[in-house]
Amino acid sequence: MRDFVYTNKSIEECYGCKACEQICPKNAITMSENEEGFQYPHIDTSKCVDCGLCQCVCPTQMENISVLFHVTPQTVSAAWNPNLSERLESTSGGMFFLLACQFINERGVVYGADYREDLTVFHCRFDDSEALKRARGSKYVQSDINDTFLQVRTDLSMPDSGTSAFFTETIR
C-alpha cells in the first residue's frame, strides 16, 4: 500500500472527492481517514497497473481547473432565488435549490449533499423536488461522495433516457 502520488501538490491538497477511487479499473485505490477525519487515497501496489486514470481525474493535479472543463470565465454574475420562503430555507441566496428544481423538472437528476442521522455529510441522488430540500444549506465539512460518480455515469449512459445530471460538491 502506498499513498497516492501527487505530482504537482502534496497530499494535504486532496479534496477527498473519491474520483480516483471510482475511476480505477483495478479497484486498487481505497480511501482512509486521517487523524482529523479527512479522507485520503491509498494505492494497493499489487493491484495498480499504472494506467494513470487516477491522475487524469484528480482536480489537484491540474495547474488550472478550467482546463478540465474547457472553459474560461468571461463574466461573473450574482443572483438569488426570487421565492422568499425558498431563499430563507436555503443559504447563499437559494440559487442551488432553484436551479436544481428546474433541472429535475426537465427530466434531470441532481447529486448533492445531505446529512445522515449521525450528522455526517454524504452525497446522494435526488430525482424529486421534495427530497431535494434535504440538500439545501451549506455544509462546511467534507462529504462522503460514496459511489455517486459511478451513479452519474450510469444515469448518463442509459439509452434514450434523456437524463442530465447536475452535480454539486463540497470542497475545502
User: Does some domain include residue 105?
Assistant: yes
- The tens digit of pLDDT for each residue in 108-162 reads 999 999 999 999 999 999 999 999 999 999 888 888 988 998 999 899 987 766 6
Query: What's the structural domain count of the chain?
Result: 2
Q: Please, are residues 70 and 124 in contact by the beta-carbon 8 Å criterion?
A: no
Going along 24-120, which residue ranges are E strands?
29-33, 39-43, 109-115
Residue 6: what pLDDT?
54
Residue 77 lies in a domain: no
Asked, for residue 108, whether it belongs to a domain, the answer is yes
Residue 154 counted as domain residue: yes
Same domain, 45 and 110: no
What confidence score (pLDDT) does residue 120 get?
A: 92
Q: What is the CATH number of the domain that holds 9?
A: 3.30.70.20
> CA-CA distance, 110 to 128, in Å (whole number)?
9
Mean per-residue pLDDT for 44-58? 88
Structural domain range at position 120: 84-167
Percent of the chain at pLDDT above 90? 45
Looking at the fold, whether 59 and 91 belong to one and the same domain comes out as no
53 and 103 both lie in a single domain: no
Task: Over range 8-27, report the average pLDDT.
Answer: 83
103 and 154 assigned to the same domain: yes
Check: pTM over 0.85? Answer yes or no: no
pLDDT at residue 75, rounded to an integer: 80
Cα distance from N-terminal residue to C-terminal residue, the chain: 26
User: Looking at residues 11-33, what average pLDDT do you find?
Assistant: 88
Residues with Cβ within 8 Å of residue 148, at least 6 apart in sequence: 111, 123, 124, 125, 167
Confidence of residue 69 (pLDDT cuts 50, 70, 90): low
Whether 74 shows a pLDDT value over 80: the answer reads no
Do residues 151 and 104 both lie within one domain? yes
Domain membership of residue 141 (yes or no) is: yes
**Residue 75 maps to a domain:** no
User: Residues 42, 111: one domain?
Assistant: no
Q: Is 101 in the same domain as 62?
A: no
